[in-house]
Amino acid sequence: MSKKDAILQAATRLFSEKGFKETSIAELSKATGAAEGTIFYHFKNKEDIFLCILEDTRNRVVEEFERYLEEEKFDTGLEMIEGACSFYFFLAGTMGDQFLLLHRRHPHELAEVNPVCREHLEAIYNSFVNGFERAILLGQKDGSIRKMSSKKIALIIFSMVDGLVRFKTYNLYDAGALHKEFMELCHSMLQKK
Amino acid sequence: MSKKDAILQAATRLFSEKGFKETSIAELSKATGAAEGTIFYHFKNKEDIFLCILEDTRNRVVEEFERYLEEEKFDTGLEMIEGACSFYFFLAGTMGDQFLLLHRRHPHELAEVNPVCREHLEAIYNSFVNGFERAILLGQKDGSIRKMSSKKIALIIFSMVDGLVRFKTYNLYDAGALHKEFMELCHSMLQKK
DNA sequence: TAAATTAGACTGAGCATTCAACCGGTTTTT
DNA sequence: AAAAACCGGTTGAATGCTCAGTCTAATTTA
């Protein structure tokens, strides 16, 4: 792995675990074995590191989620949305650091003043919300999902799965064990009566 | 209002809007008109300010939520849980700053090393989760709510409402307009078939 | 040989916290 | 009644530390 990649990887971990402001360049240097100068050789400043991480995250998240929806076969829209939720949980597990980072306030605050950051964030969220909505529209067509604004359902479902993931990272309760029940409740909430 | 209260109030706003680390004492001093020395006369350090805020928040949140469940009359457990969700949204609106603060990572990180902080946080979360669970148990007794581990339903419902509130604070989408639909979905998800 | 990397000294800014002094009102002493 | 001591609250300058970012001169790598 190139030094630049090593820096990005260590920064992802540190920023997500400790926070952007709370991570110093000295610390990052120590964690990677790279000299401080090297870090500034590859990145123009600390914020630039963060934006690179966000770009990587965006590319990977969007690509993996789209591919999942593309390649997987679903009999109904309802099954598709259940699959999408499960895949979200799965991604949150395999890309733990990145999701942790997205759940921090920092990216959202930066997005308010930095259009590049904003663009990445929106791409990520839109990818999920649009994927959910596609599933819902499909389900409403094939009769497996109730009639209600697809956009609104998509947003609510997204806030739910995301809420559960977040809950787990704060681990006040054992939220990881809720997966099965969540899927069941989700099912009966969407299903046409 | 005493100077001390003014400091607490301004700190609540600043910590929630900008973050703990990102708010300097100089800034807090400017915002309140109090000299920096005055702040340290009333509080032993910056963290102490934070803990005072958390204590206030805990007292108010817990008291208001318990009182609501106590005084309000509900015909069924299902109605009670719907009321509890609505009240959560209501509280998140009237106590905007405090909820914003609770949604930051800082209190949860501090809780890992500071037992006082941990105690406050747990009291707040337990108050909500237990309130939800009481409603669910009632609903399961009166037949308005499906059979499933009450604890798990309570956690899922809590992560849902909390997810929606957080979603709103990040305002990537107009999550405030989802209230009606959320309640409807919530209803059909819990209801006995 | 050109690009990448190192160690580390340095700058300048920002920051939490400290501290000696001060103020206005109340009580105590003379 | 005048003077002195007292006290909670307040002030803002001073202190010492951390940190992002710069710079250099030397070394390694490809």
Residue A173 predicted with pLDDT over 90: no
Determine the 3-state secondary structure of A191 from DSSP. Answer: strand
Whole-Å CA distances, B74 to B69, B104, B140, B142:
9, 33, 14, 12
Give the whole-number percent of chain A exceeding pLDDT 70: 100
What integer pLDDT is reported at residue B16 of this predicted model? 97
Give the tens place of pLDDT for each residue, B97-111: 999 999 999 999 999
Start and end residues for every CATH 1.10.357.10 domain found in chain A: 50-190
Listed as ranges, residues in chain B with pLDDT below 50 are none
Q: Which residue has the tokens 């789209």?
A: A66
For residue B35, the surrounding DSSP H or E stretch is none
Q: Given an 8 Å threshold on Cβ–Cβ distance, is B122 in contact with A184?
A: no
Please tell me the class of the A50-190 domain. Answer: mainly alpha
Residue A168 predicted with pLDDT over 80: yes
Q: Quickly give A3 CA vs D30 C1' distance in Å.
A: 15
Q: What average pLDDT does the structure give for chain B? A: 95
Strand D lies under 7 A from the Cβ of residue B116 = no
Residue A112, burial from CB neighbour count under 10 angstroms (0-12, 13-18, 19+):
exposed
The shortest CB-CB distance from B188 to any of A173, A181, A189 is to A189
Q: Which residue has the tokens 């108050």?
A: B127
CA proximity to B185, closest of A138, A163, A97, A154: A154
Q: HSE (CB half, 13 Å, CA atoms) of A134?
A: 14
The shortest CB-CB distance from A155 to any of B19, B173, B186 is to B173
Cβ-based contacts of B179 with chain A (< 8 Å): none
Give the whole-number percent of chain A exceeding pLDDT 90: 92
Structure tokens at B24: 């300097």
Start and end residues for every CATH 1.10.10.60 domain found in chain A: 1-43
CA separation for the pair A62, A60 (Å, rounded): 6
Structure tokens at A122: 């929106």
Cβ-based contacts of B101 with chain A (< 8 Å): none
For the domain covering B1-43, report its CATH number: 1.10.10.60
Cβ-based contacts of B148 with chain A (< 8 Å): 181, 184-185
Strand C lies under 7 A from the Cβ of residue A146 = no
Substitution target in B160, B168, B187 with the highest count of A β-carbons within 10 Å is B160
What integer pLDDT is reported at residue B173 of this predicted model? 79
How would residue A169 be classed by pLDDT, with cut points 50, 70 and 90?
Answer: confident
Start and end residues for every CATH 1.10.357.10 domain found in chain B: 47-190
Answer for the pair B38, B49: CB distance below 8 angstroms, yes or no: no
What integer pLDDT is reported at residue B172 of this predicted model? 72
Residue A91 predicted with pLDDT over 80: yes
Q: Which residue of B has its CA nearest to A100?
A: B105
Task: Judge: domain B47-190, CATH 1.10.357.10.
Answer: yes
Answer for the pair B172, A128: CB distance below 8 angstroms, yes or no: no
What integer pLDDT is reported at residue A177 of this predicted model? 86
Cβ-based contacts of B186 with chain A (< 8 Å): 189
What integer pLDDT is reported at residue A170 of this predicted model? 82
Q: Quickly give A24 CA vs D18 C1' distance in Å.
A: 9
How would residue A111 be classed by pLDDT, with cut points 50, 70 and 90?
Answer: very high
